[in-house]
A and B are shown apart, each in its own frame.
Chain A
Amino acid sequence: MSSNKSPKQNAFLIDLTKCTGCRGCQVACKQWNQLEAENTEFFSGEGYQNPPAMSEYTFTRIKFRDYQKNGQNEFAFYKEMCMHCDDPACASVCPVNAFEKTAEGPVIYKADRCIGCRFCMIACPFGIPKYEWSKGLPLVRKCTGCYSRIKEGMKPACATACPTAIEYGPRDEMIKIAEERLANHPDKYIRKIYGLEEAGGTTVLYLTNLPFDELGFKEVTQRALPEYTWQALRFVPASFLAVGGTLSALSWITHRRERLMKKQATVEQAETPAEEKEQ
């Protein structure tokens, strides 16, 4: 799957130059998904972010970064959430197909199928799936892209709550808006749409005025991740047949040779009984 496979799927366009860091999205997410509150401290983690990390109770949060500008300490922040990849690594590695890339855009998780192997957590380049570590029989939790709202024609909870920064709509339109903004304000933005090519294309797109790595964005491959494993896995049927076939042929030959040698030995023995055939 390439990044333009389904241009009609919905995407988030998050313009960080317009984000005020109000964390309304965080609250809306907790409310809509009925997520428990977490006991946290104000100064925890890398900056002023709260909760300190994404978890089974936190599907999105505003991540704060301290940085220096003209010798002054400044804040930068971005909204961390599931990127809803076009060709998601989590869905490709899951042995029971518990993840599904929906036509509407969100990558959804089917808890009833999940066996809890945590391969999705290893595979996700953005570190999004989280685990219910406190439970005896834990499941994976992650942002649903508010699939239940989208199906009813609503926007995701975080996009609805956001007063300034989040646009939500068909991906090709979101890309168009992003490109227009980059063209109209070349001095205001870093010339890059994060998510356009990352991990083969995602349905969360970011614009910013600060270098992405400084904000804490992960440097990820431009190729869709499932391709990396598929380039090995596609040889599975061939290697099964190759090994099975080679060994079958080999044992047929060796057994035949043994049979012929035995036969010859009996013939020779019949002709010259005194001579012994070595084993």
Chain B
Amino acid sequence: MNVASTVINEVKGYHGFIKFMIFIVALSGVAAMVRFVFGLGATTNMDDTYPWGLWVSFDVVTAVPLAAGAFTLGAIVHCFHIKKLEPLVRPAIVTGFLGYSLVCVGLLLDLGQPHKGWHVLRYWNLHSPMFEVSMCVMAYTTVLFLEFLSPVAEKFGWNIPLRILRWLEMPLVILAAAISTLHQSSLGTFFLIAVDKLHSLWYNPMLPLLFWVSAICSGMCIIIIEATATHKWMEQPNEGVLLRTLAKILPWTLGLYIALRTYSLLALSEGPLFNNPTLTLLFVLELGIGFILPFFMFISHTVRNDDRLRSHAALLVVFGLVLNRFNVSMFGMMDSTHIYYPSLIETVVTIGIITAHILLFVLIAKYFPIFEHHPETVDYSIPDSFGKVDDAVPKGA
């Protein structure tokens, strides 16, 4: 039996929903191809007025903070030493790694000259926020890949790489947090150049700091949602006790965000704030429903201890973050006489990217030990040969 038929048989055994997701991803792959054949103008609704559309607003500007869970949790567990949250780290790293890899995919689709993407490494421009974000995303995707290698090395019993990865763990965690700080905030710096374009409800010099703090909030909320979802749909143990701890941290970060946001709005914004009813509504939805409401929810003991309410509060924060990024990168710069909305192909590609994320997460969880992380059970001694660890031989024997 050859490899292909093994793979086909394996896929045949998947759950119907996984097959459906594979179909969606394949469909968006076709849509992505259409973009290269017919050009950006024919396949997207972007034009000279709206040079950035859904692909930048969601696939880059929103997807990056949604993947912030890995660095936030890494720092909480390893630097602030809240070790009991460690079981959540690996799924978060897988989510982060997938998220960033798909950001790279989305970026390559959106670039006019994807084959020249590497030019960023050659022609440095230290004054460009885009240069900074590209460098950081490349560096951080590498860091996440190395962190993701741990379960892979465990799966195949590669002891020596595992020992190296264990030894690198702390430096990688710190590097991850430092790099993430830079590019999460620099995504906000992007829009500081849109001086007279972005509405003053969102434009203020503190945008980079706000982007960073809100990314930390949403990163933790994604972990809560993900752990709740894997418990509900993937037969994983209920991590409610751990999520409760995480939910205790959230009022602090959310509170900091709301305070900074209020301060920047009152003290730093220039120009009229509430002169456009649509934008005012979007702003109220974003800050009120997306940040202030969940802040009060997470303060409540009842919400933190209830699996359902907790995940609902987390979903609200994710809603607030997504709306915030769209407000900054799209709605806040829109001209009411000429509205941008994504084309069918843009929508299919973005849905495909989100689906690919879920699909790959499920498949990785299926084949690699990402939920069963017990460092004490892994044998890190250097074996005599480079062969696989023999599971029949007891550890340390």
Contacts and interface: CB of A to CB of B under 8 A. Distances in A.
Contacts of B110: 117
Contact of B113 (A116, A218, A219, A254): A116
B22 to A, nearest CB: 27
A122 to B, nearest CB: 6
Contact of B51 (A118, A218, A247): A118
A8 B130 CA distance: 32
B344 interface: no
B123 interface: yes
B189 A229 contact: yes
Q: Which of B48, B81, B111 has the most CB of A within 10 A?
A: B48
Contact of A240 (B41, B46, B49, B182): B182
**Main SS of chain B's interface residues?**
helix
Contact of A115 (B81, B117, B193): B117
Interface in A82-141: 89, 92-98, 113-119, 121-123, 125, 127, 130-140
Interface string B225-238: 00000000000000
Q: Which of A135, A136, A226 has the most CB of B within 10 A?
A: A136
A31 interface: no
B193 A229 contact: yes
Contacts of A236: 132, 182, 186
Question: Which range contains the number of B residues in contact with the other chain?
Answer: 35 or more
A135 B125 contact: no
A89 B186 CA distance: 16
Nearest to B181: A243
Contact of A116 (B49, B112, B129, B196): B112
Contact of A251 (B81, B123, B128, B131): B81
Interface in B106-134: 110-117, 119-120, 122-132, 134
B195 A117 contact: no
B80 interface: yes
Contact of B41 (A94, A119, A134, A140): A134
Interface of A: 53-55, 89, 92-98, 113-119, 121-123, 125, 127, 130-140, 218-221, 225-226, 228-233, 236, 239-240, 243-244, 247-248, 250-251, 254-255, 258
23 contacts: A92-B127, A94-B125, A95-B125, A95-B134, A96-B123, A96-B125, A113-B119, A116-B113, A116-B116, A123-B193, A131-B48, A133-B42, A135-B40, A137-B112, A220-B195, A230-B127, A231-B205, A232-B185, A232-B186, A232-B189, A232-B208, A244-B178, A251-B78
Interface of B: 36-42, 46-49, 51-52, 75, 78-81, 110-117, 119-120, 122-132, 134, 170, 173-175, 177-179, 181-182, 185-186, 188-190, 192-197, 205, 207-208
